[in-house]
């Protein structure tokens, strides 16, 4: 045992020094009829740098916007002295919680007195269970704990365990629970910052539209002056359809034309979906859209799934992983992107509530979902943690832009080349006597074009960049200068094949 001493542990990140560049700047788009207190109809977008910033805008996980479900258990027979009665509530995953137990005293001559004793027992445990109760002439109204949302509204979660001749029944089924929206929003924001603690996150809360045109993606990007590089879109108010992906892609195409490109991570409500029959995203041409179907199956995300009754997904964590990654990196890089912290996303599943541990989730099903180009989490038998299957987009695998990193690399190159060549717009072009472009003109323009892409090479974001300007092009007649930029990207080791066997000697 070491000597007693005062030890110091240096903290990290307390100064909040910003990251270099803008690759980590992200957005989260929510649709809701109920705005957080820090937002209004005319002020729907805010930027935050931490969970605390979001909480200061009224996005809290205290379930203050939840309506707790209630039910009534009525005691009809007081029973005999020494009889006992316990009220039990069955929570998600079939977990029974004993709310309170009461043993009838000789002085309990009426059902009201027995009920009063049981209510006192329940309320004495409130600090442990979160449940409370009240009594009206033997009718016990039970109020469930916070965080259960709509879960108690179905089934028969409230039951009694009786020893003796006490009698009673549930006279009003448990109902009325309304889930907390803030808890869901807070979850995605906190998961984003868990994965990318130095993130820069734009939040947008917009009214639920009659028809989704996803113009809000452009609204947020314009408000952020084009700085958003990746955006999570959470759509919980309608069932998931692949047609929405094409609509969202059209918005991204328009932003590309405005030189404000971004990648979209889309999380729809797949509550009623069957994994084996999900649509094939490879049939689409939506290279800017990735569909996240990963969901926590044992932590807070799982609890929210039961409380909300709709897909929660791992959108926040996935967005955080993209923001954490360099543009050329796949978020499926096992060494860098373990999404589990030992609790959240340690047990994993899918956006329809099916857990990866379920017998229906076979290797064949996972292969099928991967071929259909969905983004989900997986486990490896010889390594602890939870990891992405890939970072695919909703387009054929043969596309040059079949992965998020492909799009982020080309988008960064476009932004950089645009910034470096823009000063040359409308500049004079010196020509040789035969009308061809002068070597000095070509050399200057080529050097300008690669100012920012050369930095990408130094940062190992691309392998090589080449610029070609044809000196024979007729710029006098057309007024147009054609510049060709060829990029050799960084490869991704998506499969590793090891040949192994025995030899008599080496």
Task: Write a three-state SS string for 327-392.
Answer: CCCCCCCCCCCCCCCCCCCCCEEECCCCECCCCCCCHHHHHHHHHCCCECEEEECCEEEEEECCCE
Domain final residue pick, 374, 395, 416: 395
Nearest C-alpha neighbor of 89 from the set 139, 133, 127, 120: 133
Give yes or no: residues 77 and 56 share one domain. Answer: no
Distances (CA, A) of 94 to 50, 60, 186: 35, 28, 26
Task: Note whether residue 89 is domain-resident.
Answer: yes
Domain that holds residue 484: 428-506
Task: Note whether residue 372 is domain-resident.
Answer: yes
Strand 84-91 to 95-103 pairing: antiparallel
Give yes or no: residues 246 and 391 share one domain. Answer: yes
The pTM score is: 0.92
Give yes or no: residues 318 and 383 share one domain. Answer: yes
Distances (CA, A) of 224 to 24, 91, 143: 13, 43, 44
Output the pLDDT for position 13: 47
Give yes or no: residues 454 and 308 share one domain. Answer: no
Give yes or no: residues 344 and 483 share one domain. Answer: no
Output the pLDDT for position 8: 59
Task: Note whether residue 2 is domain-resident.
Answer: no
d(CA 38, CA 44): 9
Output the pLDDT for position 28: 98
Contact status, residue 230 vs residue 217, Cβ threshold 8 Å? no
Domain final residue pick, 175, 198, 213: 175
Domain final residue pick, 175, 203, 228: 175
Give yes or no: residues 104 and 220 share one domain. Answer: no
pLDDT tens-place values along the chain, 506 residues long: 466 666 655 554 454 555 678 999 999 999 999 999 999 999 999 999 999 999 999 999 999 999 999 999 999 999 999 999 999 999 999 999 999 999 999 999 999 999 999 999 999 999 999 999 999 999 999 999 999 999 999 999 999 999 999 999 999 999 999 999 999 999 999 999 999 999 999 999 999 999 999 999 999 999 999 999 999 999 999 999 999 999 999 999 999 999 999 999 999 999 999 999 999 999 999 999 999 999 999 999 999 999 999 999 999 999 999 999 999 999 999 999 999 999 999 999 999 999 999 999 999 999 999 999 999 999 999 999 999 999 999 999 999 999 999 999 999 999 999 999 999 999 999 999 999 999 999 999 999 999 999 999 999 999 999 999 999 999 999 999 999 999 999 999 888 888 888 898 88
Give yes or no: residues 171 and 143 share one domain. Answer: yes
Give yes or no: residues 254 and 366 share one domain. Answer: yes
Output the pLDDT for position 70: 98
How many domains, in total, are found in the chain? 3
Strand 230-239 to 25-31 pairing: parallel
Give yes or no: residues 245 and 331 share one domain. Answer: yes
Output the pLDDT for position 10: 55
Output the pLDDT for position 7: 62
């Amino acid at each position: 045992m070491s000597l007693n001493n005062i030890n110091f542990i240096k903290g990290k990140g307390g100064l909040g020094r910003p990251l270099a560049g803008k690759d980590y700047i992200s957005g989260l788009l929510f649709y809701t009829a109920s705005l957080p207190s820090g937002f209004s109809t005319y002020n729907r977008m805010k930027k935050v740098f931490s969970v605390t910033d979001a909480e200061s805008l009224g996005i809290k996980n205290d379930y203050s916007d939840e309506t707790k479900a209630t039910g009534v258990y009525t005691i009809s027979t007081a029973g005999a002295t020494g009889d006992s009665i316990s009220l039990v509530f069955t929570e998600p995953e079939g977990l029974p919680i004993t709310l309170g137990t009461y043993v009838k005293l000789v002085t309990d001559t009426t059902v009201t007195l027995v009920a009063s004793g049981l209510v006192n027992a329940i309320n004495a445990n409130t600090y442990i269970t979160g449940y409370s109760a009240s009594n009206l002439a033997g009718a016990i109204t039970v109020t469930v704990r916070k965080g259960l949302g709509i879960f108690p509204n179905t089934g028969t979660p409230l039951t009694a365990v009786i020893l003796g001749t006490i009698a009673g029944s549930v006279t009003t089924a448990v109902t009325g629970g309304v889930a907390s929206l803030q808890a869901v929003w807070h979850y995605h924001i906190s998961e984003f910052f868990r994965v990318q603690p130095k993130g820069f996150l734009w939040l947008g809360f917009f009214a639920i539209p009659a028809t989704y045109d996803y113009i809000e993606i452009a609204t947020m990007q314009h408000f952020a002056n084009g700085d958003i590089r990746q955006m999570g879109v959470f759509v919980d108010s309608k069932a998931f359809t692949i047609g929405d992906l094409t609509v969202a892609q059209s918005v991204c195409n328009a932003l590309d034309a405005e030189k404000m490109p971004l990648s979209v991570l889309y999380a729809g409500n797949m509550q009623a979906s069957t994994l084996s029959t999900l649509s094939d995203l490879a049939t689409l041409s939506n290279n800017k859209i990735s569909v996240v179907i990963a969901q926590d199956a044992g932590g807070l995300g799982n609890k929210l799934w039961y409380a909300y009754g709709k897909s929660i997904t791992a959108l926040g964590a996935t967005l955080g992983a993209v923001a954490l990654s360099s543009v050329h990196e796949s978020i499926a890089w096992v060494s860098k992107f373990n999404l589990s912290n030992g609790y959240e996303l340690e047990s994993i599943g899918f956006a329809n509530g099916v857990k990866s541990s379920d017998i229906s989730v076979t290797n064949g099903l996972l292969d099928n979902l991967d071929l259909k180009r969905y983004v989900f989490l997986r486990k490896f038998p010889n390594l602890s943690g939870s990891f992405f299957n890939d970072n695919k987009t909703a387009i054929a695998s043969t596309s040059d832009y079949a992965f998020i990193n492909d799009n982020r690399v080309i988008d960064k190159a476009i932004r950089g080349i645009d910034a470096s060549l823009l000063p040359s717009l409308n500049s004079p072009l010196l020509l040789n006597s035969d009308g061809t472009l002068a070597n000095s003109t070509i050399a200057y323009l080529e050097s300008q074009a690669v100012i920012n892409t050369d930095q990408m090479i130094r940062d190992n974001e691309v392998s090589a960049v080449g610029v070609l300007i044809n000196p024979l092009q007729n710029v006098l007649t057309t007024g147009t200068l054609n510049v060709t930029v060829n990029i050799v990207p960084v490869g991704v080791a998506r499969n590793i094949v090891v040949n192994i066997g025995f030899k008599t000697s080496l």
